[in-house]
Amino acid sequence: MKTAVLTGASSGIGQAIGQKLSQNGWRVIRLHHANETTNDSYAVDLSDLAATAEFGKRLVNELPQLDAFIHVAGIWHTKDEVLAGRDFTSFTAEQITTTMNVGLTSVMLLCNALLTIMQHGTILGVSGTFADGGAGWLPYYTSKRALEDFLVGLSQDQPQIKIFGISPADTATPAYAKFYPQYLSEARSSEVIADLALDLLTGNTEYKSGDIVEVRNGETRRGFHA
């Protein structure tokens, strides 16, 4: 049985990827922001870098090997509002650092640990397309663009590992439905992204390590780093 570690697993794209892998015989170790920790499901605050690093060490000690690490978690909203459509000076220091920690720095810390138990395998990060650039939501935009840069660089640094990014356009997650219901009919389902993730993880794809795969209008293509 292959084993994957998955962040952002409690809803949306992360939940869909977790379900897809489980349906195809994978053991999925789910990291999420909920309070409850159960078997193979852990509440981990990725904005807490010290706790994230310690959890990475814990996984290394507990797992004999790892076949995939998938990072989906990111911050573009709170419980009540979207962190977008705002001048950069209106973001608080906490919002900026939390967004960067969850979207980028936690990934680097987890990869730093988990690569030691990945002789081969795949690392996959989910970013996002930004048709209008970063204005209005600069912390999230920066965290996801930097994630793509990290994945491309990591593919050059770790040639024995397959490394990809998925850059989806608007996706019909619960959060998207809550904050952008007027556009929901135009968004693709999370299952579309999960299907692509499975293809990348199993080698059923034309893409090569280091590619960022953009998903837009029902089609895939090499994205930001093409």
- How many whole angstroms separate alpha carbon 91 and alpha carbon 77? 12
- CATH assignment at residue 60: 3.40.50.720
Residue 10 confidence (pLDDT) above 80: yes
For 126, phi then psi, to 5°, come to -105, 120
pLDDT band at 226 (very low <50, low <70, confident <90, very high): low
Q: Is 96 helix (H, G, I), strand (E, B) or coil?
A: helix
The DSSP-derived string for 49-90 is: HHHHHHHHHHHHHH-S--SEEEE----SB-SS-BS-SS-GGG
Binned at pLDDT 50, 70 and 90, residue 52 comes out as very high
> In which domain, by residue range, is 179 found?
3-222
Residue 135 pLDDT = 94
> Mean pLDDT throughout 148-164?
98
* Closest CA relative to residue 56, chosen from 94, 8, 7: 7
- The Cα–Cα gap between 173 and 20 comes to 16
User: Token pair 């962190």 is at which residue?
Assistant: 83
pLDDT at 33: 79
**pLDDT value at position 103?**
97
Average pLDDT, the chain: 94
For residues 108-134, average pLDDT: 94
d(CA 73, CA 7) in angstroms, rounded, equals: 6
- Given a contact cutoff of 8 angstroms between Cβ atoms, the answer to whether 84 and 137 are in contact is yes
- Selection from 34, 114, 37 nearest residue 70 by Cα: 114
When pLDDT is averaged across residues 51-72 and rounded to a whole number, the result is 97
Structural domain count of the chain? 1
Residue 21, token pair as written in the block:
């892998």
